[in-house]
Chains A and B, each alone.
Chain A
Amino acid sequence: MATTKPLLAALMAAGLLVACSSTDENAAATGAGGAAGLGGAGGLGSGTVRPGSQEDLVANVGDRVFFDTDRSSIRADQRTVLERQARWLGQYPQVQVMVEGHADERGTREYNLALGQRRANAARDVLVASGASGARVQTISYGKDRPDALGSSEEAWAQNRRAVTVVR
């Protein structure tokens, strides 16, 4: 996945990649929001990651899936992340999550709000189909209004077309 390359390079440059307990491409992509997770999982940081926390989800499971342009179907290469999330939710029955749907900047605000919601719903549907209780999974859309990558490039847009699972 092309979009993870800059991030992988950055992590390697910083000598942090070994900190990722899971080295598949999806987990690497989640590293952007998981500084605490990197520290905890690899023992580089001061504390340990609390099981069932957001940091745990980011570091050990992967908190997000990515979508194709204007699409909200879960890609085959992303489904395993959601299945792992469902198993993880099964380990921590007290955890409630919000799935946040997002879009890239190359659409209108209103359409992207609807698109982000459809993406969040699609991710939730896989979580539920994989065994998570629907009552524990809320959804919300931010459309194009909360980008993760701030550039105006194909790589940034691919990173922003996402559904992120957030512990509430």
Chain B
Amino acid sequence: MSINRRQLLAAAGATPLLSASAALAQGGTVIDITRARTDPIPIAIPDMAGGPLGAQISRVIANNLRSSGLFRPVERAAFIQSPDAAAATPRFQDWRVIGAVALVTGRVQQGGDGLRVEFRLWDVLPEQQALGTAYNASASNWRRIAHIISDDIYKRMLGEDGYFNTRVAYVSETGPRDRRVRRLAIMDQDGENHAFLTDGRFQALSPRFHPNAQQIAFMSYERNEPRVWLFNLQSGRQEPLGSFGGMTLSPRFSPDGRSVVLSAIRGGDANIFVVDLASRRERQLTAAAGLDVSPCFSPDGSQIVFNSDRGGDQQLYVMDAGGGGARRISFGNGRYATPVWSPRGDLIAFTRIARGQFAIGVMRPDGSGERILSEGWAMESPTFAPNGRVLMFYRESQARDARGGGYSARLASIDIAGFNERPIPTPTDATEPSWSPLLG
């Protein structure tokens, strides 16, 4: 699949700088992402010209930006200038008076199987074009183009990469709780383009994306031997990873994509191993008594954070990527689990279980600055968006009765500042999300 991209000249001939605030005019960003809460940026996104597909693209963009919690698409009912007229020449006064700081216009042309989408991002106050790009692709890729444009807008206005052109793999769960059918599923980050990857004959758990987004490591119960397997998204082929004699679980790829770190059980202990993908050779990294599970590399590949009960109850430890030097980093109340390192390197997200409640939180890699983002009956398994700004995880509701009535498992996302928690729609119950890197 190819999507071609071409810069469009600024229509007004002005410098392509958005000055929604003084900071932005200096080349800075509108939002200080370290702030706990911020007013979302009002942005007008009228339907692109060129028929129904234009409208659909605009709605995907608006939905993406709204879901971030950092933008507020202006109500369509408030629009003064018609979308088609705005696509030709924006009358900035009409957009300024309805409170829009930025305006997104565009035009869609379809010919044969091809699609050309021109889009412009306008800075309403100084009346300047901030971005102008044309995309050419096959018509079936219209959603991808909408996500790429969303990322363009996000990056131009916030100064950091977006995360909309991404997918999410997760475990789809159906059936009664004591006989659940668990299948790998995949979808766009907004829930669209949903597909099942495995057929449910064998339980599949813990999908994790390769850094090239073409492969998924997961845990399969095929042949009643729970082991880590690899799933190739292009060919659909599955294969077991390595030849471990006992159960292997909780896989994650290294940042360079050349190896998988996982937990393997031999005798009474679970230890961390790394498996080289080319040679399939394994190397043992931990040997302490107890259960070492859920390892995750730092984004520079130099360290591994994992979860261990070696000290009595579950806590988080960081060690060198070659093994050794393990030091405990979690010291709050309760048990800590499922650590995952932010792609930005600055934070580790985790599950905490304390006082009968589960919580999702973040801390710095040295264990300082712990913050709880969301708390409830049961939630776990955080995964970072590729820009490190948003976490997805899953929540379970408490069974109301002895037959398990009222139980459910659903995905949710939250800003790492602890606001904008929202449900992620899935066709079935869902657990263990894995957020892909940005797609090409």
Contacts and interface: CB of A to CB of B under 8 A. Distances in A.
B263 A114 contact: yes
Contacts, number: 110
B261 to A, nearest CB: 13
Interface string B218-230: 0100001010000
A55 B380 CA distance: 37
A105 B431 CA distance: 14
A115 B205 CA distance: 16
Interface string A123-162: 0000000000000000011000111111111001000000
Contacts of A149: 402
B270 A114 contact: yes
A91 interface: no
B313 A111 contact: no
Interface string B126-153: 0000000000000000000000000000
A32 B224 CA distance: 24
B39 interface: no
Given A117-B247, A141-B247, A149-B402, A111 B182 contact: no
A36 B274 CA distance: 46
Given A150-B407, A151-B402, A118 B270 contact: yes
Best-buried of A70, A140, A149, A151 by chain B (most CB within 10 Å)? A151
A30 to B, nearest CB: 16
B378 A105 contact: yes
Contacts of B247: 113-114, 117, 140-141
Contacts of B314: 70, 107, 111
A110 B309 contact: no
A113 B401 contact: no
B178 A148 contact: yes
A23 interface: no
A142 B176 CA distance: 15
Contact of A145 (B180, B268, B270): B180
B399 A111 contact: no
Given A108-B380, A110-B206, A150 B404 contact: yes
B265 A118 contact: yes
Nearest to B171: A109
Given A122-B268, A141-B226, A146-B178, A109 B403 contact: no
Contacts of B399: 150-152, 156
B380 A114 contact: no
A60 interface: no
A133 to B, nearest CB: 18
B45 interface: no
Interface string B272-302: 0000000000000000000101100000000
A111 B293 contact: yes
Contacts of B265: 114, 117-118, 121
B407 A114 contact: no
B421 to A, nearest CB: 19
Interface in A87-108: 98, 105-108
Given A113-B219, A121-B268, 7 more contacts: A106-B356, A111-B309, A113-B205, A114-B270, A118-B268, A146-B179, A147-B404
5 contacts: A114-B263, A117-B246, A117-B265, A118-B269, A152-B407
Q: Which 8 A-B pairs have the closest CB atoms?
A: A150-B404, A108-B337, A151-B402, A114-B270, A152-B399, A114-B291, A110-B250, A152-B398
